[in-house]
Amino acid sequence: MSGEEKTVCVTGASGFIASWLVKLLLHRGYTVHATVRNLTEDPNKVAHLLALEGAKERLHLFEADLLKDKSFDSAINGCEGVFHTASPVSISPLATKADLVDPAVKGTLNVLGSCLRTPSVKRAVLTSSTASVVYKQNPISSEDVVDETWFSDKEYVEETKQWYILSKILAEEAAWKCAEENGIDLVLLHPTLVIGPILQPTLCTSNQIFLDLIKKGKEMDPSGIFSFVDVRDVADAHIQAFELPSANGRYCLVETTMHSSKGLKIIGELYPSLAIPQKYEDNLVAIPSYQVSQEKAKSLGINFTSFEVSVKDTVESLIQKNFLNL
User: Any idea where the domains of the chain sit in the sequence?
Assistant: 7-320
- Element at 9 (helix H, strand E): strand 7-11
pTM score, whole prediction: 0.95
- On whether the CB atoms of residues 112 and 226 are closer than 8 A, the answer is no
326 residues of the chain, pLDDT tens digit each: 577 789 999 999 999 999 999 999 999 999 999 999 988 877 888 999 999 999 999 999 999 999 999 999 999 999 999 999 999 887 777 788 999 999 999 999 999 999 999 999 999 999 999 999 999 988 888 899 999 999 999 999 999 999 999 999 999 999 999 999 999 999 999 999 999 999 999 999 999 999 988 887 777 677 788 899 999 999 999 999 999 999 999 999 999 999 888 888 888 889 888 877 766 666 666 677 899 999 999 999 999 999 999 999 999 999 999 998 87
Domain 7-320, CATH homologous superfamily name and number: NAD(P)-binding Rossmann-like Domain (3.40.50.720)
- Element at 101 (helix H, strand E): helix 97-116
- Alpha carbon dihedral 202, 206, 207, 208, in 10-degree steps, equals 90
Query: DSSP class of residue 132?
Result: G
Identity of the residue numbered 61: L
Q: Answer positive or negative: Cα dihedral of 132, 291, 254, 1.
A: negative
- On whether the CB atoms of residues 41 and 258 are closer than 8 A, the answer is no
